[in-house]
Amino acid sequence: MIVAVDNTFLSLLWNPDSRPTPSPGTGQPVSHYRLRIEALIDECSKRSNVVLIPTPCLAELLCAVPDLEKAVNTINSSIAFKVAPFDARAAIDLAQAIRKAKNDGSKRLGSAAGWQKVKFDRQIAATAKANGAEIFYTDDDNQTRFAEMLEMKVIHTWDLDLPAKYAQQDFLDEGHEQPED
């Protein structure tokens, strides 16, 4: 299976200043978000799933991480990650989606983030779709809407399971302070 991630997921792994988006259900950031994302990447690797990183997402990520070289080396050395270019196929998919949105009267999909960000987000989702991603991991609302428009299943950090060994530890350590993510 091919899945794709956006900058909101990868930044939580590699940028210590990143903070998770609060879960709409609780209004609180998800606990142990790094462990959840690491478990997702590990599971994808074990199952030989491909985790796509669209190049526009890679550019966003590399602007935000403290150690650019370390992030690039981690991505290049991982058997799970594959960097996917915004190429002609992605451009065609993006153009078709934008034309459909214009015809439906929803060109901006309600974004308050600005048109340039919307275009960048759309390039990321279109790259994922053009490269066969079935699932798109993001916590960004605009990205979610566009990925769903492209008929990808969207999963957020708050949807990820906490690995069993940590969930059990939380139960056993109830009432004790938990380490920060």
Dump pLDDT digits (tens) for 98-152: 787 777 776 554 444 555 566 778 889 999 999 999 999 999 888 898 899 899 9
- Model pLDDT for residues 62-94, shown as the tens digit of each residue: 988 888 899 999 999 988 899 999 888 888 887
Residue at 174 is within a domain:
no
Which domain covers residue 81, as residue numbers? 2-169
Contact predicate 134/116, CB 8 Å: no
Predicted local distance difference test score (pLDDT) of residue 173: 45
Among 9-18, 95-104, 158-167, name the one with the lowest average pLDDT: 95-104
Burial of 157 (0-12, 13-18, 19+ CB in 10 A): buried
Whole-number pLDDT of residue 54: 94
Domain membership of residue 12 (yes or no) is yes
Let me know if residue 86 belongs to a domain: yes
Number of Cβ within a 10 Å radius of residue 177: 6
Q: State the pTM of this model.
A: 0.81
Place of tokens 């530890």: 169
Q: For residue 77, is it within any domain?
A: yes
**What is the rounded (10 degree) CA torsion for 159, 29, 12, 125?**
50
Within-domain flag for 113: yes
Per-residue exposure over 76-99, b if at least 16 CB sit within 10 Å of its own CB, e if not: eeeebbeebebeeebeebbeebbe
* Residue 143 backbone zone (phi > 0: left; psi -120 to 50: alpha; other: beta): alpha
Residue range 58-65: average pLDDT? 89
Token code pair at residue 110: 């309600």
Q: How confident is residue 159, by pLDDT bands cut at 50, 70 and 90? A: very high
What percent of the chain is modeled with pLDDT above 70?
A: 83
Give the pair of three-digit tokens for residue 74: 């981690």
State yes or no: pLDDT of 57 exceeds 60. Answer: yes
In the predicted structure, residue 155 carries a pLDDT above the cut 50: yes
Q: Based on the structure, what is the number of domains in the chain? A: 1
> Which CATH number goes with the domain that contains 28?
3.40.50.1010
In three-state form (DSSP H/G/I as H, E/B as E, the rest C), the secondary structure along 51-111 is EEEEHHHHHHHHHHCCCHHHHHHHHHHCCCEEEECCCHHHHHHHHHHHHHHHHHCCCCCCC
pLDDT for 119: 75
pLDDT higher at 7 or 118: 7
- The dihedral region occupied by 175, where left means phi > 0, alpha psi between -120 and 50, and beta the remainder, is left
